[in-house]
Each structure stands twice: as C-alpha cells, then as structure tokens.
Amino acid sequence: MDSHQDLIHQFFYHFGLTPDQIQIDAESDSLTITLLVDQTETGRYIGRFATTLDSLQLLISLMINHDQPTHLNVTVDVGGYRQERLAVLQDMASRIEAEVTASTSPRAFPPLSASDRRAIHLLYQDHATLTTYSEGEGQSRRLILAPKS
C-alpha cells in the first residue's frame, strides 16, 4: 500500500495537489482515491462527460496494476461525482427496466462511457429476470437491457 500511496501522491503532485488533498481507501481487491479539492476546482478534474476523471482513473489503474500478479479495481472520485452519477444511472436504468418489463423486448441505453456501462452491468449482474450485454464497437458501443432467456 505504501508504494501505491507514494505513486499516487507523486502522480497528483503534477496536478498541484498535496498529500492532504488525496484520500486513499484500500480494500483487498480495490482502491478508491478521493481528491479533496475546492468545489470551484472539481470541474478541472472531472472534465466534460467525465472524460478527464475517467482518464485519470485509467492512468492510475495502469500504473498500479503494471506487472502485478493480482488486479486492483481503481476508482478516482472528486466532489462526490461518482456517487451522483451512479444515482443518475440507476434512475435511467429503472426507466429502461420498466420499458423492457412492459414490452418483454430488449432496449438499448443511450451512449455511455465504459465506466457507466460497467456500473449498469454490475447493477444487473444478479438480477433474476433481466440481463445486460454490450453491442458495437468504439463510440457506437451500446448497452442492452434484455429479459433473461
């Protein structure tokens, strides 16, 4: 953990953050990094459509998991963005779930980032009657919610 902590602190030092602005919560298979910045600065770290936040998360994940025998799931958050986004995704999923249940036919979600698709996949991984899968490539990739066969 100390080597991860040092690496994370060094990485975010280049963004002008000090160690006291970085909260690191480690579990056996995951690492959550919360950036404690002023509310006026959160947009700088989130970016449009959260692309900056997702990119920071990917870079940290690649650095931490490089040449490691086990993979750590890394999450980077700032200003509670991830929790707020999850609430929006859950609301969207509920609406689409109602459509699928009423029609018994699959429905596609609007375009989502890879992390948003993963969050919805996790929401439905143990669902009794519905399943999710992705179709397409790149920007055309869509998440589908469908009744289980």
> What 3-state DSSP class applies to 29?
coil
One digit per residue, the tens of pLDDT, for the chain of length 149 reads: 677 999 999 999 999 999 999 999 999 999 999 999 999 999 999 999 899 999 999 999 999 999 889 999 999 999 999 999 999 999 999 999 999 999 999 999 999 998 899 999 999 999 999 999 999 998 899 999 999 98
Cα radius of gyration (the chain) = 18
First to last CA, the chain: 44
- Choose one of 78, 93, 114: the last residue of a domain: 78
Token pair of 40 as six digits: 């006026």
pTM of the model: 0.84
Asked if 3 and 68 sit in the same domain, the reply is: yes
Asked if 2 and 65 sit in the same domain, the reply is: yes
What is the spatial distance between Cα 121 and Cα 28, in angstroms, rounded to a whole number?
A: 22
Asked if 51 and 94 sit in the same domain, the reply is: no
List all residues 6 or more positions away from 117 whose beta carbon is below 8 Å from its beta carbon: 109, 134, 141, 143
| CATH code, domain with 127 | 3.30.1370.50
Asked if 9 and 47 sit in the same domain, the reply is: yes
> CA 50, 51, 52, 56: dihedral to nearest 10 degrees?
100
Q: Please, are residues 69 and 87 in contact by the beta-carbon 8 Å criterion?
A: no
